[in-house]
Amino acid sequence: MNTRLLSGLVAAMAVLVGACSTTSGVTVAEKRQSVLNMRNAVLTELYKEKPDVQAQVNSAAGYAVFSNANIHLLFAGVGGGHGVVRDNVTGQNTYMKMGEVGLGFGAGVKDVRLIFVFHTQSAMQRFVQSGWTFGGQADAAAKASEKGGALGAEAVVDDITVYQLTASGLALQATVKGTKFWRDQELN
């Protein structure tokens, strides 16, 4: 495949993911509420699937919930989303965005929810201030509404436990990817 065609496909995927990953609402207050509604729905689903996680989230220094839409086509993938970090000590919310780029074999479109549980205040602060992750990923998903299934991982890294829920999608991929999380200037 020539590089010009691949670049065009990646650009088209980025536009499509960007359109899927925006918050609803017109005003800043409506957009914040949209993110908080997403967070509450994701936590409800997570607690239904893994009831013991609720105590972990409540006793942690803080947690974050992100909605992430991503597309992978042949050798490249892109994704984007939004979320919020909750400091359990201060009660403060920090609204954030995320973007990712991956290289590797795969094809598919997924709507994923990420939940980060910060076991220490310093781990949460590093995440809010730096926000980078880098690593490999292999997954399979075939889910629409309540039907189907998805293989997602639970990982513990650097005083952070990460859970992944697949809301919907069809994907089979093995990639090396970089993900950047950053403060949403409009919502903070």
Q: Which residues are bridge partners to 70 per DSSP? A: 79, 110
Give the residue-averaged pLDDT of 97-115.
Answer: 80
pLDDT score recorded for residue 122: 95
Rounded to the nearest angstrom, the gap between the alpha carbon of residue 151 and the centroid of all alpha carbons in its chain is: 15
Unique residue bearing structure tokens 């359109």: 19
Hey, which of 12-21, 50-59, 106-115, 153-162 has the most confident mean pLDDT? 50-59
Token pair listed for 77? 């993938």
Phi, then psi, of 106 in degrees rounded to 5: 165, 175
Burial class for 83, CB neighbours closer than 10 Å (0-12, 13-18, 19+): buried
**pLDDT tens by residue, 109-124:** 778 889 999 999 999 9
| Spatial distance between the Cα atoms of 118 and 37, rounded to a whole number of angstroms | 21
Query: Is there a contact between 35 and 97 (Cβ–Cβ < 8 Å)?
Result: no
| Spatial distance between the Cα atoms of 172 and 162, rounded to a whole number of angstroms | 21
| Spatial distance between the Cα atoms of 115 and 8, rounded to a whole number of angstroms | 32
**pLDDT tens by residue, 130-180:** 877 665 444 443 434 444 444 455 566 778 999 988 765 454 545 566 789
61: nearest Cα among 84, 39, 89, 96: 89
Q: Which residues are bridge partners to 117 per DSSP? A: 63, 161
Report residue 22's pLDDT band, with 50, 70 and 90 as the boundaries. low
Query: Is there a contact between 101 and 137 (Cβ–Cβ < 8 Å)?
Result: no
Residues composing the chain = 188
Query: Is there a contact between 97 and 64 (Cβ–Cβ < 8 Å)?
Result: no
